[in-house]
Structures are given as structure tokens and as C-alpha cells.
Amino acid sequence: MTHRIDIQAVSKAFGAFKAVRDVSFSLAEGEIVALVGHNGAGKTTLIKLMLGLIRPTAGTVRVLGGDPAADPAVRARLGYLPESVSFNPALTGRETLAFYAALKRAPHGQVAELLERVGLSQAADRRVRTYSKGMRQRLGLAQALLGAPQVLLLDEPTTGLDPALRRDFYGFLDELRAGGATILLSSHALSELEGRADHIVIMGQGVKIADGTLDELRGIARLPTRIRVRLAEGEERRLEGDADWRPVNGHMLEIDAAPEDKLALLRAAVGARIADLDVTPPTLDELYAHFQDRQREAGQ
């Protein structure tokens, strides 16, 4: 598989402070990767390293086969949406994008095309000061897409967007991925990443503490899956063969199933007369808390 981004044993110190320590991961073509971690975990530092804005203290950062800090041609093929995007409020959306197109030496024709693509055509000639947060974020994304980049680095892109706009935003990222773009997005909003990121890199205090698909992370963490059943009318308040089911709300039973017990417990549940069944695997929030606790216990 071709790696669009390859980070190998990268450390970055600011003076005596080590913001990133010995981090390795890679991003393949057409992949959406989420970089998650608490405030100060090192996410923005990693993005700046990928953008070539800063150089690693140790290790190598390769983007599109080159060194982003040394090769302007590599940087020209990257799109970046910063964490807090601020535009000149006196310019219109169209003027703003034309300004960035000139800076990036992107064809001027892309301005109208991208405004259309992010759904801002109607508002293109209005001043940015009149834009809502969602419209500004879409203008930011249009700016990141100038020059048709193969790699997009998006720092907290959905902060401040309402659920409908977030859905639109992720739909848009799916379209870009289908076109072959590689997308890295940093986020605190873990729940919204489920089912959206192909791959998750969890950072904690400058160190990578976990890395994998959601299923892989679940496999490593071995957290229980919650099974909840509602028994059919008149059924006894217990399930055969297991005393560990807890009664909930008087008419339901619940159990936290270890991965190896899950199927047997589900069979026991569907073998009884039940009216309903819910199976909830560990969420990304729970996995994140688990990996953070593990890191704390390891005293890193």
C-alpha cells in the first residue's frame, strides 16, 4: 500500500519540553485517519510537522514521498484547515477564496467551483462577517481544497458545527476520500468519529498510546460489550444459566459481556422469550478513557 504520510520515530522538543516523543504512524491513500487526544497531547505539533512548518528533533516525516520542511512542491500538494480559522470579515467569500488561490498559485477557476462544492455559491458575494460559523468552516474547507491537494490536514474541523452541519461535513469528506484524497483530522469529538474514521491514532502527553481501526482498538482494549434484553410479557425476571444479569428499570436485564462470553450470553438471551435486545459495543469515548488510564498506570 502506498503511504501518503509516513511518520517514523518522530520526536519534537521545544527547548527542554518534549511535545512529541517517538511517534510512528502512517496514512495510506484514500484513508480518513483521526488523531485524537486531550488538550496539549501533541496533535497540532504533529500536524505542523506534516505541514513542514517545523522540523522534528528526531525521526523522519515523509509526506507524498518527500520532506515537507525542505520541499515546497510537497507543501503545494497539501491542504490545511487550521483549528481556528479566521478570515477578513470585510471581504466576501469569493474575494477571500480568490486571495488564497493567488497565494497558493491555484487556478482562479477553482474559486467558483469550490464555492459551489461547499454549498456557498449563493452567499459567495456576501461579506464573511455575515456568515454563520458553519459557513465560515465551509469557506475554510474550500480554502484547504484549493490546488486539489492529495492530502488534507484538518485541525478540529467540526468544532462549533451543529449536528446537521457535522453530518454534511463528514459526507463531504467521504466524497473527497472516494476521489482518492487522504484525510487526517484531529478531534476531541470522539463519538462523532465512530464509523467515519478508517483508522484512529490516540495521543496522550506527546506519546502515541494506541493506533488501529475501531475494531482493532476494541480487540486490544477487551472492554465488555453491554447486552440488554427486555423480556416478553409474563416471562420470569431471570435468564437461564446465568445469575449475573442485572435487573434494569424493573422490566429489563443487562450484563457486561467479556469478548469471549459475548456469543454464549447472546444465545442465552435469544433462547428466552424476549421482546427486545440491545447490544452496545464499547464506544470510542470508553476506549479512549481506557487507553488513557492504561498510560497513567504505566506512569508515562
Ligand X SMILES: Nc1ncnc2c1ncn2[C@@H]1O[C@H](COP(=O)(O)OP(=O)(O)OP(=O)(O)O)[C@@H](O)[C@H]1O
CA distance 242 to 203: 39
Which lies closer to ligand X via its Cβ, residue 106 or residue 201?
201
Please report the DSSP string for 176-199 in residue order.
HHHTT-EEEEEES--GGGTTT-SE
Residue 5 beta carbon to ligand X: minimum distance, rounded to whole angstroms: 16
Residue 19 beta carbon to ligand X: minimum distance, rounded to whole angstroms: 3
Look up cell 482493532; give the residue: 216
3-state percent helix, strand, coil for the chain, nearest multiple of 5: 35, 30, 35
Residue 184 beta carbon to ligand X: minimum distance, rounded to whole angstroms: 13
CA distance 138 to 125: 15
CA distance 188 to 218: 19
Q: Which residues contact 76 (CB under 8 A, 6 or more apart)?
A: 104, 105, 147
User: Cell numbers at residue 99, please?
Assistant: 486571495
DSSP state of 129: G
Q: Is 43 in the site for ligand X (CB under 6 A)?
A: yes
Which lies closer to ligand X via its Cβ, residue 205 or residue 225?
205
Measured N-to-C along each axis, helices 133-145 and 109-117 cross at an angle, to the nearest 10 degrees, of: 140
Which lies closer to ligand X via its Cβ, residue 49 or residue 151?
49
Residues 1-40 that bind ligand X (CB under 6 A): 14, 17, 19, 37, 39-40
Which lies closer to ligand X via its Cβ, residue 41 or residue 284?
41
Residues 177-196 that bind ligand X (CB under 6 A): none
Q: Is 140 in the site for ligand X (CB under 6 A)?
A: no
Q: Is 42 in the site for ligand X (CB under 6 A)?
A: yes
Q: Is 56 in the site for ligand X (CB under 6 A)?
A: no
**Given the rule CB under 6 A, which of 42-50, 145-153, 160-168, 276-284 is the region that contacts ligand X?**
42-50
Q: Is 45 in the site for ligand X (CB under 6 A)?
A: yes
Residue 287 beta carbon to ligand X: minimum distance, rounded to whole angstroms: 18
Q: Give the residues lining the site for ligand X (CB under 6 A).
A: 14, 17, 19, 37, 39-45
